[in-house]
Amino acid sequence: MGNLPEPLAQRLADSGLRATPQREVVYQVLLHKRDHPTAEEVFARVKTEMPGISLATVYNCLETLVTCNLVRQVNFERSPTRYCPNLEPHAHFHDEATGQTHDVKLPPAVLDQVKAVLPPGFDATSVEITFRGAKR
Amino acid sequence: MGNLPEPLAQRLADSGLRATPQREVVYQVLLHKRDHPTAEEVFARVKTEMPGISLATVYNCLETLVTCNLVRQVNFERSPTRYCPNLEPHAHFHDEATGQTHDVKLPPAVLDQVKAVLPPGFDATSVEITFRGAKR
DNA sequence: GGAATCATTTAGAACAATTCTAATTCCTAC
DNA sequence: GTAGGAATTAGAATTGTTCTAAATGATTCC
């Protein structure tokens, strides 16, 4: 609602951006109910407080918050699905410079360690590990 | 888990499906150049051998191969991007029954172990770990 | 061997999520 | 206050994928 937890204005300013009402409301909505909403869901929630806001603005604000490192996108970037016939357990390394995806061998011990972070009651059928970065 | 062409007919039969020329060519194309192609790229490659094939069929074949566990999709399921204001290092657990996404705490030691699987020359700026399964 | 049945393929339309465009409004500095 | 950049907006456009309905192909069962 009205009050912003100050990181927002500060972080935006650091990036040379303004703290607008729309950005504040979008950020508040994300902080308020942390159920990993989609852009459409954020839009619906924001509209109850700011009925005039547009979907495009919600997308813009989300993008801004992501670039300020205040918010993470879970399903990362929107690119076509890729297919891989390698059935061994492996991670993927996505080279942001070239757009190429490389397989990275995943030792069973590491995979076990990763699976062990799940609290009781969480039964995973699959794990996906994806790195992004640049390859020399 | 060999990569010979033979498993194809067998795996398909196991699932009550037929080994059609289209499915064979799509699978061959994936085996032949393992650069994680998109559906469009597969389509382009397959057309050189089977000019009449349609894009819809390529999508169908890829889906079939995925359900037979002969191929993995890298960018997983096609659903809207989700946003998360939790900036602590954490993994995500996607509950396939409810569609909900939960944060899972990621101890620094595990994160370090995971980062250590990268061969020299791979500089990662981020890692994303996603589980899928069901929560009791 | 021929009809009945079912799987598969196909072209194109439909769809959903997102991004783009161009016009407008809003700030912030001079 | 006015110029200039930043942000917002509605709606169109784009992209990747799925759906639909018709045509084709393979199997089964007499």
Q: Quick: pLDDT tens for A47-73.
A: 999 999 999 999 999 999 988 888 988
**Which range has the worst mean pLDDT, A3-17, A87-101, B116-130?**
A3-17
Contact between chains at B126 and A131 (C-beta distance less than 8 A): yes
Contact between chains at A114 and B110 (C-beta distance less than 8 A): yes
pLDDT of residue B3: 39
CB nearest to B129's CB, from A116, A121, A127: A127
Contact between chains at B80 and A38 (C-beta distance less than 8 A): yes
pLDDT beyond 70 at B122:
yes
- Residue A111 beta carbon within 7 A of nucleic strand C: no
Q: How confident is the model at residue A79 (pLDDT cuts 50, 70, 90)?
A: low
Calpha distance A117→A109 (Å, rounded):
13
Mean of the pLDDT values across residues B60-81? 82
Give the count of Cβ contacts less than 8 A between chain A and B.
224
Give A6's DSSP letter: T
- Residue type present at position A110: V
pLDDT of residue B79: 67
pLDDT of residue A11: 86
B69 and A126 in contact (C-beta within 8 Å)?
A: no
Mean of the pLDDT values across residues B14-29? 92
Name the residue with the least CA to C1' distance from nucleotide C20.
A56
pLDDT of residue A76: 57
**Which range has the worst mean pLDDT, A101-110, B2-11, B48-57, B83-92?**
B2-11
Residues of chain B positioned with their CB less than 8 A from the CB of A124: 93, 131-133
Q: Distance from residue A72 (CA) to nucleotide C14 (C1'), in Å? A: 32
Q: How confident is the model at residue A2 (pLDDT cuts 50, 70, 90)?
A: very low
Burial class (CB in 10 A: 0-12, 13-18, 19+), A5: exposed
Q: Distance from residue A88 (CA) to nucleotide C20 (C1'), in Å? A: 41
Mean pLDDT of chain B: 87
pLDDT of residue A8: 84
Where is B127: in which H helix or E strand?
strand B122-135
Contact between chains at B71 and A83 (C-beta distance less than 8 A): yes
Calpha distance A15→B91 (Å, rounded):
27
* Sign of torsion over alpha carbons B86, A31, B80, A97: negative
